[in-house]
Amino acid sequence: MRSPVRDLAQKDGEESTDRTPLLPGAPQAEAAPVCCSARYNLAILAFFGFFIVYALRVNLSVALVDMVDSNTTLEDNRTSKACPEHSSPIKVHHNQTGKKYQWDAETQGWILGSFFYGYIITQIPGGYVASKIGGKLLLGFGILGTAVLTLFTPIAADLGVGPLIVLRALEGLGEGVTFPAMHAMWSSWAPPLERSKLLSISYAGAQLGTVISLPLSGIICYYMNWTYVFYFFGAVGIFWFLLWIWLVSDTPQTHNRISHYEKEYILSSLKNQNGLLSSLPYLGSWLCMILSGQAADNLRAKWNFSTLCVRRIFSLIGMIGPAVFLVAAGFIGCDYSLAVAFLTISTTLGGFCSSGFSINHLDIAPSYAGILLGITNTFATIPGMVGPVIAKSLTPENTVGEWQTVFCIAAVINIFGAIFFTLFGKGEVQSWALNDHHGHRH
């Protein structure tokens, strides 16, 4: 007896498009083993690469607390009348050998936001360059450049606010190319029925990088001083670059250690699909990304769900779910434990998007996935730039009611995005994207 859910998914209009070989009767390639495979080695190295990308991005958020003279920021802090028991500053005795700077709250905001002014610039160029020269060197040198610049953070801070802001903006330039470059590489490496798993593994490193680097940065500041935060993560980034250059290739054809069977499997699976490839903060989200990737591929491979149906389902869960719990977090009063739980659930559910709209670029235009990711990620960077400013203006007194407004606005934006994608999203390669790039068109 056939599942009615399966029948419903198959009526989505394109279930046969991404599962039918290019030529009638063409045999489907048998999947190459996963263990020790070149494609999964690439996913693991990419995982650690994006782990470092986000570690280098967020470590300043923790170190900055230790860099600033506490007497400077004390005047900027307001005492909350809604939850006074949580308002008293907590003094923690720890290593104080790091140099302190007289930076007020506004200056700190400029320093933290400066990264995104560089990050937004290289999104689109990064996608274009990756499509021309490949993603290996672009992603590798993007992370290497950010890591090396991170080592010079203490020197830049000593020179003044201006040099530090410039340094962080330059780091943003390096990291801006990473996602477009990785998308471009997966257009040559990801077999159609493994794309959700592979991309979810690689991009999940970003979430775990945030989870690990934030507390680790705090520990380093506590037992050593803030300068070692930048020395540690910068050195780790350089070490990763050496492994990346040694072990990774842009395509299966140029990989020195890939088995002949795996290479043929990847190339034949891409050819048989006429180019229909698809090519993403925190521990809960990381786990959700891994599990959702497995679930998405199983729905398509075993239950015959269409690509578009899977993308819609995971996008709706990954956008409306977080919106619901985000709004709920604003209406629970001073129950901080429940607030943390709701925000954790909200972020966790967001991981479903990694198998939804986040990899839809490769569904609709695999040959231009890098460029499209650059364009979309450029717009996605804007909230990181203007969000803190807007939130600050909406919460002048830092009250619960003011933060309810902020959470509701964020939720409305999420729901709008989910509805928009559901109405206008596509799951098949578009006619304007058909060309001979990477053998996507026979």
Tell me which amino acid residue 7 is: D
Domain shared by 102 and 127, yes or no: yes
Kindly state the average pLDDT of the residues 243-262: 90
Task: Please give the distance of CA 212 from its chain centroid, rounded to a whole number.
Answer: 15
Least confident of 185-194, 230-239, 323-332: 185-194
The pLDDT tens digits of the residues spanning 294-324 come to 898 888 888 889 999 999 999 999 999 999 9
**What is the reported pLDDT for 24?**
38
Domain that holds residue 206: 38-72+98-271
Instruction: Please say whether the beta carbons of 163 and 152 come within 8 A.
Output: no
Kindly state the average pLDDT of the residues 287-291: 81
Q: Which two tokens stand for residue 171?
A: 């780091």
Domain shared by 246 and 303, yes or no: no
The pLDDT tens digits of the residues spanning 355-396 come to 998 889 888 988 888 888 888 888 887 777 777 678 778 888
Domain boundary among 249, 271, 293: 271
In a domain, 14, yes or no: no
How many Å apart are CA 172 and CA 149, to the nearest integer? 10
In a domain, 91, yes or no: no
Instruction: Please say whether the beta carbons of 311 and 357 come within 8 A.
Output: yes
Question: What is the count of structural domains for the chain?
Answer: 2
Domain shared by 170 and 284, yes or no: no
pLDDT of 19 higher than 90: no
Q: Which residues pair with 68 in a beta bridge?
A: 101
In a domain, 187, yes or no: yes
Q: How confident is the model at residue 26 (pLDDT cuts 50, 70, 90)?
A: very low
Instruction: Please say whether the beta carbons of 361 and 278 come within 8 A.
Output: yes
Kindly state the average pLDDT of the residues 270-278: 50
Domain shared by 302 and 357, yes or no: yes
Kindly state the average pLDDT of the residues 220-231: 92
Place of tokens 């990694």: 354
**Mean pLDDT, the chain, whole residue set:** 81
Helix axes 369-394, 178-189, angle to 10 degrees: 150
Question: Coil, strand, or helix at residue 101?
Answer: strand
Instruction: Please say whether the beta carbons of 148 and 394 come within 8 A.
Output: no
Domain boundary among 236, 271, 306: 271
Place of tokens 């996608």: 127
How many Å apart are CA 231 and CA 63, to the nearest integer? 12
Torsion of CA 382, 384, 385, 389, to 10 degrees: 120
| CATH number of the CATH domain containing 316 | 1.20.1250.20
Domain shared by 291 and 264, yes or no: no
Q: Which two tokens stand for residue 302?
A: 């075993």
- The dihedrals phi and psi of 412, each to the nearest 5 degrees, come to -60, -40
The pLDDT tens digits of the residues spanning 99-153 come to 889 888 888 888 888 888 888 888 888 888 887 888 999 999 999 999 999 999 9
